[in-house]
Chains A and B, each alone.
Chain A
């Protein structure tokens, strides 16, 4: 008897397990809305750092959410805003509002590998994607910072756009919470995102600090969340182009 059917069955089972883990994680950490004040420290390769602050609002959930992010500091970028409309079946739509020009500007798909306003996050890193847009593979189990984790690889499904050829994530087994991502372009790791200070806020596990390393630029950005709240009432009309222009 050929061994291939058994191997394929095992691979299929592995793929299903990884997907189930990610689905379970998204299910457990679901919240109807989120709001926080973000404090970003951007470190240049030469060690110089600058601070930026934004306010973040999200309504809805993975793949079907809308988010608004508005800079409040430093003064030169105050009022600059990004509206993200995530879709379950495709990449998000993104628009940026530039108060200096009094104009909104659509952020094209192919431009989303660019750094977002001088931080080490790219525009794509600010999206929330539905599990249906990626294929998953369980690479094994590892311990990270004393926590047992699943190591899961995700690759964009055929026809789905991403700057990353694959993303490897570490998911804590005890709370189904991701603690680290490594993003690859071809075989080169280009970014690493680490989640820290993981706490329960309004009954939702949350990382109060995230650090994104840009390994090509050799820079890093630390994002600290303050005044984090979940499941607060946020009107749909906050997440429209008109609201972006009104500066809300």
Chain B
């Protein structure tokens, strides 16, 4: 895997079609309240990201991206190794975020290697994005992780067929046991320490297929996924002297679809999937989102509802932020103030009022390269609600980014 970087550099030196971009991002997160099990109030993060691609021939392209990062709250590994899998509890200090080769001829495109695969059409929640695990060390400010996969895409007229095979499973990165995004039941008393155990990662291949159709002014897709859920169920092992909590990843099959239809005043987007599992401890359910979006002048507005219907209830204890956003009204709005400033907001409000997450962000471009941002996330609700349980984790983020 590692020879990719020298290849990219060689391509650059050889004067091939070489493109690059990246940034240095410095961020401070401030939590005004103590967490249930974490009294850290300030986390500083630094991330250097470099993305490059080299087109070696008209039909062959190499893509690479590396991350180098650190933080003050032990969320990033302290070892100096280069990671390419992104399967650990902690964020790697140095990692290949993407490394892939793209081959294309006529309507056929093949991408091999670590890559990002997005199938969803909706915003905020994408039930059919099954090859898109995320880093949830901060549950509400998260980003996608790449997956090691082979992807074949055939685009023929208005039809696009996508076949994906992921030979090595990439789980979502879940919150750390000793940090504020893991909420312990208040009554829980354990006579022995509870520690994070090694996850039970599934072997085998995850696979999926999608057909997308572009109609006159509308588009729709159907998707199928067979593999494992990248979001875990949490189980416990009794080890002498301690209890180990560990993640298991239930088998999952998805039948899904998405569509976007522009109406005279707004565009309606819908996306949903029916999820089944052979696991005795994973639910069968339907997860969907319906939203309307409109851009008016400098405003972009998105509003909708995400819903869930459980057809077979089996889950004991899981970590499922996607389902955690269901049965909620969701929205996003952004407003461009001139060419260099933007204010935006996002919200998810539970239909029964038991949980609410509201985020506001202000971004200002300071110069060609520098950008500043400030955001505040307010979380409210009850202890039994997925969103509400994080009510002590409202936070502000101040960030500076140097783009190049």
A140 on the B face (CB < 8 A):
no
B136 on the A face (CB < 8 A):
no
- Per DSSP, are chain B's interface residues mostly helix, strand or loop, or mixed? strand
Please measure, in the bound complex, the distance between the C-alpha atom of A111 and the C-alpha atom of B293, giving whole angstroms.
9
B376 on the A face (CB < 8 A):
no
A8 on the B face (CB < 8 A):
no
> Do the beta carbons of B109 and A242 come within 8 Å of each other?
yes
Selected from A90, A106, A118, A240, the residue in CB contact (under 8 A) with B339 is: A118
> Do the beta carbons of B155 and A242 come within 8 Å of each other?
yes
Q: Could you tell me how many residues of chain A have their Cβ less than 8 Å away from some Cβ of chain B?
A: 34
> Do the beta carbons of A108 and B267 come within 8 Å of each other?
yes
| B217 nearest CB neighbor, chain A only | A109
| B264 nearest CB neighbor, chain A only | A110
Interface 0/1 of A223-238, CB less than 8 Å to B: 0000000000000010
> Do the beta carbons of B338 and A44 come within 8 Å of each other?
yes
Please measure, in the bound complex, the distance between the C-alpha atom of A42 and the C-alpha atom of B104, giving whole angstroms.
37
Please measure, in the bound complex, the distance between the C-alpha atom of A78 and the C-alpha atom of B216, giving whole angstroms.
30
B224 on the A face (CB < 8 A):
no
Interface residue tally on B, bucketed by range:
35 or more
Please measure, in the bound complex, the distance between the C-alpha atom of A243 and the C-alpha atom of B214, giving whole angstroms.
16
Kindly list chain B residues whose C-beta atoms are within 8 Å of the C-beta of A48: 338-340
Segment with Cβ contacts to A, from B167-175, B315-323, B365-373, B391-399: B365-373
Segment with Cβ contacts to A, from B201-209, B294-302, B353-361, B379-387: B294-302
Query: Which residues 300-355 in B have Cβ within 8 Å of A in the complex?
Result: 336, 338-340
> Do the beta carbons of A76 and B371 come within 8 Å of each other?
yes
User: Least Cβ distance of A114 to chain B in Å?
Assistant: 5
Kindly list chain B residues whose C-beta atoms are within 8 Å of the C-beta of A110: 262, 264-267, 294
B45 on the A face (CB < 8 A):
no
B279 on the A face (CB < 8 A):
no
Query: Which residues 260-276 in B have Cβ within 8 Å of A in the complex?
Result: 260, 262, 264-267
Kindly list chain A residues whose C-beta atoms are within 8 Å of the C-beta of B6: none
Please measure, in the bound complex, the distance between the C-alpha atom of A102 and the C-alpha atom of B160, giving whole angstroms.
17
Please measure, in the bound complex, the distance between the C-alpha atom of A241 and the C-alpha atom of B51, giving whole angstroms.
21
Please measure, in the bound complex, the distance between the C-alpha atom of A199 and the C-alpha atom of B357, giving whole angstroms.
57
Query: Which residues 170-226 in A have Cβ within 8 Å of B in the complex?
Result: 219
> Do the beta carbons of B403 and A76 come within 8 Å of each other?
yes
Please measure, in the bound complex, the distance between the C-alpha atom of A26 and the C-alpha atom of B293, giving whole angstroms.
36
User: Least Cβ distance of A215 to chain B in Å?
Assistant: 14
B118 on the A face (CB < 8 A):
yes
> Do the beta carbons of A42 and B107 come within 8 Å of each other?
no
> Do the beta carbons of B153 and A114 come within 8 Å of each other?
no
User: Least Cβ distance of B269 to chain A in Å?
Assistant: 9
> Do the beta carbons of A103 and B118 come within 8 Å of each other?
yes
User: Least Cβ distance of B347 to chain A in Å?
Assistant: 19
Please measure, in the bound complex, the distance between the C-alpha atom of A99 and the C-alpha atom of B115, giving whole angstroms.
12
User: Least Cβ distance of A63 to chain B in Å?
Assistant: 15
> Do the beta carbons of B403 and A240 come within 8 Å of each other?
no
Say whether, besides A75-B21, A75-B369, A108-B267, A246 and B214 are in contact (CB < 8 Å).
no
A9 on the B face (CB < 8 A):
no
Please measure, in the bound complex, the distance between the C-alpha atom of A79 and the C-alpha atom of B262, giving whole angstroms.
26
11 A-B residue contacts at CB 8 Å? A46-B338, A48-B339, A78-B403, A90-B216, A93-B214, A103-B120, A108-B262, A114-B295, A219-B339, A240-B155, A242-B153
**What is B's interface to A at a CB cutoff of 8 Å?**
19, 21, 23, 51, 53, 55, 61, 102, 104, 106-107, 109, 116, 118, 120, 144, 153, 155, 160, 214, 216-217, 219, 260, 262, 264-267, 293-298, 336, 338-340, 365, 368-369, 371, 403-404
